[in-house]
C-alpha cells in the first residue's frame, strides 16, 4: 500500500511538472489535456496541479478557463491556496475583468487566505485596465493598512489607472510618493507619470521628467517621448514639439508625428505640418486619418484651400474613410478661400457618406455664402440646418443677417429667424419642464 501511495504521489508530482512546463511554454491547451488525462486515468489532480493549470490559462489569456478550473477544484473538495487565487486574479487582470478580480480578492479574505503583494498588484492592475481609479487607490490604502510595502509595480499600476481616468493630480501624487519612499522608477511608472503631465497640461514638467529619465537609469522609448510632444502640442509649444521629434533616440511612430503636426497646425505653421507629413512617409510611418486631419487643420488655418483639396484627394487614394473632422477642416479651408460652391459640394459629399454635419461645418459653408453674397443659398442652408435639428448659434444668425442685409433681403431672413426662434422657444420650454420634473422630487 505504501508503495502504491508513493507511486501515485510521484505520478502526481510528474504530472504537475509537465503542466508547469506547458505553462512556461505558453501551451495552455496542452496543460488542460494533461489535467483531463489525470482526471480520467489518474493520479487524482491536487491543488498544485490545478494551480499550475490555472496559471497556464492565465498566461494564455484565458480568464474564463482559469475561473472554471478554480470552481472545479472547489467542487472536487480541494481548497485552493494563495498561488491558485493569484493566478486566477492575474487571469482576470489580463482579461480586463476587474469586478471578478475584486470578487476573488474578497473570497481570499473570507477564506482566511493571506493576500500578498502579488495579489494586490494584480487586482490594482485589473482596476486600472477597467478604468476604475477609485478602486485602485482604495486597494493601495488597504495594502498599506495591512502593513504591506508597495513596490514599483504597485505604484506604476496606480499611477497608470489614475492617469487613464484623467485623474492626473492623483497620479502625480502617487508617483512622487513612490520616489519619496526610495523606490526606483521604471519605464512603466515614468510613462504613466509623463502621460499624467500631458493630460494635466504641464508640458514643462513633462520635459523635466523626460530629461531626468536617463539619470534614473531609464532610457526613454518612443512612448515616453510621445507624451511630452503631445503636452507641448496642447500647450501651443510647437518649437519644443518639433525639437523633441528631431532629438528622439528611438524611431518616431505615427503618434509622434501626429502630435508634432497638430502642434504646427495650432500655431498656424502649415508648411512645417506638410513637411512633417512628407517626412513621415519617407520614414516608413504610415499616415492615418488623425495625421491627415491635423494636416488639413493646418492648411485651413493657413488659408491653403488648394493644399486642403489635395490632402482630401490623397485620403481617398490611400483608402482611408474621412470623418466629420476631415470634412469640417476641408469645408472651412474652402470657405476661407472664397470657394463657396466647393464648400457646399463637400457638405453634400459628407451627407452622401451618411454622416450628419455639425453646426461648425454648416456655419463655415454659410460664411462662404455670406462673403460671396449668395443669400438664397445661405437661407436654404439655414433652413436645412433647422430641418436636421442642427443647432443654430450666434455665428449662424450673424452670417444670415449680414448676407441678407447686403442683398436687401431682410424680409426673408426675418421669416427664417422667426421660425428658428419659435423652435428654440419650444425646445427651451421642454428643457425647463424636464428640469422641473427632475428637481421636484428632491424638494419634497
Q: Which residue has the higher pLDDT, 74 or 389?
A: 74
**For the residues of 176-204, what is the DSSP string, one character each?**
HHHHHTTPPP-HHHHHHHHHHHHHTT-HH
Provide the whole-model pTM: 0.71
**Is residue 53 over pLDDT 80?**
yes
d(CA 359, CA 347): 12
State the pLDDT at residue 394: 78
Do 74 and 132 fall within a single domain?
no
State the pLDDT at residue 5: 43
**Is residue 386 over pLDDT 50?**
yes
**Is residue 425 over pLDDT 70?**
no
Position 417 in a domain:
no
Comparing CA positions, the residue from 381, 391, 294, 296 lying closest to residue 344 is 381
Q: Residues 40-63: what's their mean pLDDT?
A: 88
Do 109 and 19 fall within a single domain?
yes
- Give the pLDDT band of residue 418 (cuts 50, 70, 90): low
Q: Residues 11-32: what's their mean pLDDT?
A: 81
> Where does a domain end: 70, 91, 115?
115
Do 140 and 50 fall within a single domain?
no
Do 358 and 268 fall within a single domain?
no
Domain of residue 76: give its range: 14-115
**For the residues of 219-276, what is the DSSP string, one character each?**
---HHHHHHHHHHHHHTT-HHHHHHHHHH-SSPP-HHHHHHHHHHHHHTT-HHHHHHH
d(CA 314, CA 371): 29
Position 210 in a domain:
no
**Can you tell me whether residue 302 is helix, strand or coil?**
coil
Position 411 in a domain:
no
**Is residue 227 over pLDDT 80?**
yes
State the pLDDT at residue 10: 43
> Where does a domain end: 404, 421, 439?
404
**For the residues of 355-413, what is the DSSP string, one character each?**
PPP-HHHHHHHHHHHHHHT-HHHHHHHHHHHHHTTPPP-HHHHHHHHHHHHHTT-HHHH
State the pLDDT at residue 420: 52
Model confidence pLDDT, tens digit, residues 286-335: 899 999 999 999 998 888 888 998 998 899 888 898 888 888 888 888 88
Model confidence pLDDT, tens digit, residues 80-132: 999 999 999 999 999 999 999 999 999 999 888 889 999 999 999 999 889 89
Position 439 in a domain:
no
Total structural domains within the chain: 4
Position 22 in a domain:
yes
Do 295 and 331 fall within a single domain?
no
Do 67 and 136 fall within a single domain?
no
Do 298 and 319 fall within a single domain?
no
Do 80 and 52 fall within a single domain?
yes
**Is residue 37 over pLDDT 50?**
yes
Do 326 and 379 fall within a single domain?
yes
Position 212 in a domain:
no
> Where does a domain end: 241, 268, 302?
302
State the pLDDT at residue 415: 56
Position 421 in a domain:
no
Of the ranges 65-69, 203-207, 351-355, 386-390, which one carries the lowest mean pLDDT score? Answer: 386-390
Do 111 and 130 fall within a single domain?
no
Do 38 and 111 fall within a single domain?
yes
Position 398 in a domain:
yes
3-state secondary structure 360-375: HHHHHHHHHHHHHCCH
Do 56 and 91 fall within a single domain?
yes
Percentage of the chain exceeding pLDDT 70: 88
Amino acid at each position: 500500500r505504501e508503495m502504491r501511495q508513493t507511486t501515485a504521489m510521484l505520478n502526481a508530482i510528474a504530472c504537475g511538472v509537465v503542466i508547469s512546463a506547458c505553462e512556461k511554454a505558453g501551451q495552455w491547451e496542452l496543460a488542460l489535456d494533461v489535467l483531463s488525462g489525470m482526471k480520467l486515468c489518474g493520479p487524482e489532480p491536487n491543488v498544485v496541479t490545478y494551480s499550475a493549470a490555472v496559471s497556464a490559462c492565465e498566461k494564455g489569456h484565458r480568464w474564463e478557463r482559469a475561473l472554471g478550473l478554480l470552481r472545479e477544484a472547489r467542487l472536487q473538495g480541494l481548497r485552493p491556496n494563495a498561488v491558485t487565487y493569484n493566478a486566477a486574479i492575474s487571469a482576470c487582470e489580463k482579461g480586463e475583468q476587474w469586478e471578478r478580480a475584486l470578487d476573488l480578492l474578497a473570497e481570499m479574505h473570507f477564506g482566511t487566505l493571506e493576500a500578498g503583494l502579488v495579489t494586490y498588484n494584480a487586482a490594482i492592475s485589473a482596476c486600472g485596465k477597467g478604468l476604475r481609479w477609485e478602486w485602485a487607490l482604495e486597494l493601495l490604502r488597504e495594502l498599506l493598512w495591512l502593513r504591506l510595502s508597495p513596490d514599483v509595480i504597485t505604484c506604476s499600476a496606480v499611477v497608470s489607472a489614475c492617469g487613464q481616468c484623467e485623474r492626473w493630480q492623483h497620479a502625480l501624487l502617487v508617483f512622487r510618493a513612490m520616489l519619496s519612499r526610495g523606490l526606483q522608477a521604471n519605464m512603466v511608472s515614468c510613462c504613466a507619470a509623463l502621460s499624467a503631465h500631458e493630460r494635466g497640461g504641464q508640458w514643462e514638467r513633462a520635459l523635466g521628467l523626460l530629461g531626468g529619465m536617463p539619470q534614473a537609469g531609464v532610457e526613454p522609448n518612443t512612448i515616453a517621448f510621445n507624451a511630452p510632444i503631445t503636452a507641448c502640442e496642447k500647450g501651443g509649444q510647437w518649437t519644443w514639439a518639433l525639437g523633441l521629434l528631431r532629438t528622439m533616440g528611438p524611431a518616431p511612430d505615427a503618434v509622434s508625428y501626429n502630435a508634432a503636426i497638430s502642434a504646427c497646425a495650432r500655431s498656424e505653421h502649415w508648411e512645417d505640418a506638410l513637411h512633417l507629413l512628407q517626412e513621415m512617409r519617407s520614414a516608413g510611418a504610415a499616415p492615418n486619418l488623425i495625421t491627415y486631419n491635423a494636416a488639413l487643420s493646418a492648411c485651413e488655418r493657413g488659408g491653403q484651400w488648394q493644399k486642403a483639396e489635395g490632402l482630401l484627394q490623397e485620403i481617398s487614394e490611400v483608402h482611408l474613410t474621412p470623418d466629420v473632422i476631415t470634412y469640417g477642416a476641408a469645408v472651412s479651408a474652402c470657405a476661407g478661400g472664397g470657394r463657396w460652391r466647393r464648400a457646399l459640394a463637400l457638405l453634400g459629399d459628407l451627407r452622401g457618406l451618411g454622416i450628419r454635419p455639425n453646426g461648425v461645418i454648416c456655419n463655415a459653408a454659410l460664411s462662404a455664402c455670406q462673403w460671396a453674397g449668395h443669400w438664397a443659398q445661405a437661407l436654404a442652408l439655414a433652413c436645412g440646418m433647422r430641418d436636421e435639428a442642427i443647432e443654430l448659434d450666434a455665428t449662424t444668425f450673424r452670417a444670415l443677417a449680414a448676407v441678407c442685409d447686403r442683398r436687401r433681403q431682410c424680409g426673408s431672413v426675418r421669416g427664417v429667424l422667426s421660425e428658428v426662434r419659435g423652435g428654440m422657444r419650444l425646445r427651451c420650454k421642454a428643457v425647463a419642464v424636464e428640469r422641473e420634473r427632475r428637481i421636484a422630487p428632491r424638494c419634497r
